[in-house]
Chains A and B, each alone.
Chain A
Amino acid sequence: MKKEIITLAHGSGGRPTQDLIERHILPRFDSTPLKQLLDSALLECSGRLAFTTDAFVVHPIFFPGGDIGKLAVSGSINDLAAVAAEPLFLSASLILEEGLEVEELDRVLESMSRTCKEAGVALVTGDTKVVEKGAGDKLYISTSAIGVRRQIPDPQPALISPGDAILVTGPIGEHGMAVLQARESFFCNLELQSDCAPVWPLIDSLLKAGLKINAMRDPTRGGLATTLAELARESGLCLQAEEDKIPIGETVRAACDMLGLDPLYLACEGRMVIILPKKNAEKALTVLKGHPLGTQAMLIGECLEKPEGVALLSTRIGGRRVLAPLSGEQLPRIC
Chain B
Amino acid sequence: MLSLEPREVLSKISKMGVSARFMEVCGTHTVSIARSGLKKLLPDSVKLISGPGCPVCVTAQVDIDYAIALARQPGVIVATFGDMVRVPGTETSLLEARASGGKVEVVYSPMDSLNLARAHPKEEVVFLAVGFETTAPLIARTVQTAKAENIPNLSFLVLHKLIPPAMRALLALKEIQLDGFILPGHVSAILGSKPFLFLKEEFHLPGVITGFEPDDILLALFMLVKQKREDRADIEIQYRRAVRPEGNPQALKVMEEVFEPQEANWRGLGIIPESGLALRQPYWDFDARRRFPLKIMGSREYPACGCGEVLRGVISPQECPLFGRVCTPDSPVGPCMVSSEGSCAAAYHYEEHP
Q: How long is the Cα–Cα vector from A185 to B86 in the complex, in angstroms?
A: 24
- Number of B residues near A (Cβ < 8 Å) is 32
B35 within 8 A of A: yes
Interface residues on A, range: 10 to 19
B238 at the interface (CB under 8 A from A): no
In the bound complex, residues from chain A placing their C-beta under 8 Å from that of B109 are 186
15 cross-chain CB contacts under 8 A: A184-B108, A185-B115, A186-B112, A260-B28, A260-B31, A260-B341, A316-B36, A317-B6, A317-B7, A317-B10, A317-B215, A319-B41, A321-B36, A322-B352, A327-B330
Contact B108 A321 (CB under 8 A): no
Give the Cβ gap from A172 to chain B, nearest Cβ, in Å: 16
Which residues on the A side are within 8 Å of B36 (C-beta)? 315-317, 319, 321
What is B's interface to A at a CB cutoff of 8 Å?
6-7, 10, 28, 31, 34-38, 40-41, 86, 108-109, 111-112, 115, 214-215, 218, 328-330, 338, 340-341, 348-352
CB pair B330 A319 closer than 8 Å: no
Q: Whole-angstrom distance between the alpha carbons of A327 and B86 in the complex?
A: 11
B123 → chain A closest CB, angstroms: 16
Contact flags A284-312 to B (C-beta < 8 A → 1, else 0): 00000000000000000000000100100
> Is A328 interfacial (CB-CB < 8 Å)?
yes
Which of A185, A260, A317, A324 contacts B214, CB < 8 Å? A317
Q: Is A320 an interface residue (CB 8 A)?
A: yes
Q: Quick check: B214 and A316 within 8 Å, CB to CB?
A: yes
Contacts of A316 in B (CB 8 A): 6, 36, 214
Residue pair A322, B108 in contact (C-beta under 8 Å): no
* Chain A interface residues toward B at CB < 8 A: 184-186, 259-260, 262, 307, 310, 315-322, 324, 327-328
A186 to B109, CA, bound (A): 8
A328 in complex: contacting residue of B28, B38, B112, B329, CB < 8 Å: B329
In contact, B214 and A315 (Cβ under 8 angstroms): yes
Min C-beta distance of A109 to chain B, whole Å? 30
Between B6, B338, B350, B351, the greatest number of chain A beta carbons within 10 A of the residue's beta carbon is seen for: B350
B96 to chain A, nearest CB (A): 13
Query: Which 4 pairs, one residue from A and one from B, show the smallest C-beta to C-beta distance?
Result: A319-B37, A327-B329, A317-B6, A321-B350
Cross-chain contact B349 with A322 (CB below 8 angstroms): yes
- Interfacial chain B residues near A186, Cβ < 8 Å: 108-109, 111-112
When chains A and B are docked, how far (Å) is the Cα of A184 from the Cα of B108?
8
- A177 vs chain B, min Cβ distance (A): 12
- Docked Cα-Cα span, A110 to B215, in Å, equals 49
Q: How far apart are A111's CB and chain B's nearest CB, in angstroms?
A: 28
- With A317-B41, A317-B214, A322-B350 as contacts: A328 and B86 at CB distance below 8 Å: yes
User: A residues within 8 A CB of B10?
Assistant: 317-318
